[in-house]
Structure 1
Amino acid sequence: MDVLQLLVSGLANGCVYGLVAMGFVLIYKATEAVNFAQGDFMMLGAFICLGLTNPQFMGLPFWVSVPVAIAIMGVFGYALDLVVLRRMSGQSQIAVIILTIALGFVLRFVAGLIWGHEPISLASPIAGKDIRLGGVVLGMDEIMVIGVTLAMTIALYFYFNRTKLGVAMQASSQNQLAAYYMGIPVKRIQSLIWALAGMVAAVAGILFASKGSIDPSIGLLGIKSFAAAVIGGFGSLPGALLGGVIVGLIEPFASRYIAAGYAQIMPYLLLFVILIFRPHGILAQVHQKKV
């Protein structure tokens, strides 16, 4: 029973890591840039939902606040690419990476300025509720995290493989010049991918906030999610989810069966091993670009 309890808890955390990791992969596939502010997108989405929901702020119903917060993060991601990142066109990828790192610091500062640095709880209708199956206690929040992540993964798969816009996004990520010559508005597509990454991060943030209190420092979970993306295979959406689940499972089992102090280092130790023996990740997607 103890193992099953750890398994569910690890899966729930791993799903959050996987969703943030998907944001990394989406942006990398489209622009070949790494958005190190992706974890801070998650944090901002959680705080926006909290601000809309909690009575001391706006007091909207939870199920109204969730789609509004996701939409706001979509607009934020689109505007960020439109106003800021397009101006970086022609600059080195290092410059873009440094920009996103600086953006992360700014977002954490702004969140602290508005909501403070003390942990705050999201007024979620499922918080504190659980289901008992024999000797196992399953939190409704953990079940929702796992269920929503599975639903989003399936939705993203069908979106990228069954819709015109999704196929256009894939074509743009494979070869921007060829996509442009085929009439695909590459710049607009990139902005839409930043919007999609912002929306996915918002979902991850809301799910994370539903499990407990949040503060601006949760944006730093993006570093762990980046490790998950690399472990799973940087460039693979299923790999991002797989890497997130692996990282999420390693932590509780390492804390329980090795020592609590090793839980935080184990994901990075696994990353170290993966980079040595399988540098492209578990579900590597290595291909040559067509020219």
Structure 2
Amino acid sequence: MDVLQLLVSGLANGCVYGLVALGFVLIYKATEAVNFAQGDFMMLGAFVTLGLVNPEYAGLPFWVALPLVFLIMGAIGYLIDATILRVVFGQSQTAVIILTIALGFILRFIAGSIWGHEPQSLRSPLAFGDVRFGTVVLGTVDLAVIVVTLLLTLVLWQFFQKTKVGLAMQAASQNQMAAYYMGIPVKRVQGMVWALAGIVAAIAGILYASKGALEPNAGFIGIKAFAAAVIGGFGSLPGALMGGLLVGIIEPFAARYLPPGYSQIAPYALLILVLVFRPHGLFSQVRTKKV
């Protein structure tokens, strides 16, 4: 039963990685850019929620604060694209990567300046006890993380496959010039993607902060989430989730059965194996770019 408990714990943590990985994939699917600040978006979304909910700050009811958090993080994502990312529009991927890495440092500095660097706890109604399945104990937060992640992945996958906006986003990533001549407002579409990625990051941040303490360096979780996105297949939303689950499951088993410290390198060892034997990811859908 120890194995089942480790598996459940790994699934819950893996879902958080998967949610952040979804943000990576969202932006990549629509813009073919990699946002290395996605983990810091998650951290910022969690702190915005904490600032609105906790009694020592605004003290709003949790369910009243949620739509405000989504609005704020969506606006931040859109404004970052409109005011910063469009400056390097048409530049190399290296320029975008460096820019987003620098953006991550700035977001961590801002969060530390406003909320401090000491760990803080979010007053979340999601953490109200445990659910027992036989001998396996699952926290209500972990259950919420798993359910929300599965639903969000399904909704986003349907969004990209079935809606005109989702198809327009994919068309813009395939060929921006052709999409523009077909009447697709490319810049607006890309702004919407960044706004959506901000909202997804906020959801991940709320669930992450509900599980434990929060501090500005929590954004470094984005490194594991990036590994999860690559393992699953960088252009695949279900692949991002599956990659996150694999990373989350590997960690507790490595911590339990391998020498101390190996749990930290196990996800990256898996990443190297995937890159060597299946460079496009385990669940990727390789597509031919239309020109």
Q: Aligned runs of 1:113-128 on 2, under 5 Å? A: 113-128=113-128
Q: Which residue of 2 aligns with 1:110?
A: 110
TM-score, length basis structure 2: 0.97
Distance 1:55 1:62 in 2: 11
Worse-superposed segment, 171-180 or 104-113: 171-180
- Within a 5 Å distance, the mapping from 1:160-171 to structure 2 comes to 160-171=160-171
Which range is displaced more, 202-211 or 169-178?
A: 169-178
Q: Which residue of 2 aligns with 1:196?
A: 196
Distance 1:215 1:49 in 2: 13
Aligned to 1:57: 57
Question: What does residue 213 of structure 2 align with?
Answer: 213
Aligned pairs for 1:85-96 within 5 A: 85-96=85-96
Post-superposition CA distance 1:217-264 (Å, at most 9, x none) = 110110110011110111111111110000000001111121341111
Distance 1:158 1:30 in 2: 15
Please say which of residues 185-194 and 20-29 is displaced more in the overlay: 20-29
Q: Once the 2 structures are TM-superposed, how far is the Cα of residue 119 of structure 1 from its aligned partner?
A: 0.7
In 2, are the aligned partners of 1:66 and 1:206 still within 8 Å (CA)? no
Q: C-alpha distance in 2, partners of 1:251/1:54? A: 31
Give the match's secondary structure for 1:198: helix
Q: Note if contact 1:224-1:267 (Cα within 8 Å) is conserved in structure 2.
A: yes
Normalising to structure 1: TM-score of the pair? 0.97
Distance 1:26 1:154 in 2: 13
CA distance in 1, matches of 2:39, 2:167: 26
More displaced stretch, 278-287 vs 32-41: 278-287
* Structure 2 gap ranges (5+): none
The percentage of counterpart residues that share the same residue type is 69
Where does residue 262 of structure 2 map in the other structure? 262
Q: Does the Cα contact within 8 Å between 1:21 and 1:241 map onto a contact in 2?
A: yes
Matched, 1:229 2:229: yes
Contact 2:174 2:289 survives alignment (8 Å): yes
Q: Quick one: structure 1 residues 231 and 35, their matched pair in 2 at CA, closer, same or farther if it must change by over 3 Å?
A: same
**Offset, 1:288:** 2.2
In structure 2, give the amino acid aligned to 1:178.
A
* 1:131 corresponds to: 131
- Matched AA of 1:117: H
Q: Distance in 2 between matches of 1:187 and 1:41?
A: 21
- Which secondary structure state, in structure 2, belongs to the residue aligned with residue 281 of structure 1? coil
- State the match for 2:6 in structure 1: 6
Say whether 1:83 aligns with 2:83. yes
Which secondary structure does the structure 1 equivalent of 2:261 belong to?
A: helix
Deviations 1:116-140 (A, max 9, x none): 1111000011325111222221100
Which whole-Å deviations, capped at 9, do the CAs of 1:79-120 have from their partners, x for residues lacking one?
Answer: 111111111112221111111101100110110111111110
Q: Which residue pairs with 1:17 in the alignment?
A: 17
**CA contact 1:15–1:146 (8 Å) conserved in 2:** yes
| 168-177 vs 145-154, greater mean Cα deviation | 168-177
User: What are the ranges of 5 or more consecutive residues in structure 1 without an aligned counterpart?
Assistant: none
Q: 1-side partners of 2:277 and 2:161: how far apart?
A: 31
Matched position secondary structure for 1:121: coil
Counterpart position of 1:187: 187
Structure 1 counterpart of 2:67: 67
> What's the counterpart of residue 142 of structure 2?
142
Paired position in structure 2 for 1:282: 282
Tell me the C-alpha RMSD between the 2 structures.
1.1
Shift of 1:68: 1.4
Q: Which letter maps to 2:223?
A: I
3-state DSSP class of the match of 1:179?
A: helix
Structure 1 runs, 4 residues or longer, greater than 4 Å off: none
> Partners of 1:67 and 1:10 in 2: how far apart?
29
Contact 2:29 2:169 in 1 (8 A): no
Residue 121 of structure 1 contacts residue 212 of structure 1 at CA under 8 Å; is this kept in 2?
yes
Q: Distance in 2 between matches of 1:226 and 1:92?
A: 20
Specify the code of the residue in structure 2 equivalent to 1:198: G
Question: Which residue in the other structure is 2:273 paired with?
Answer: 273
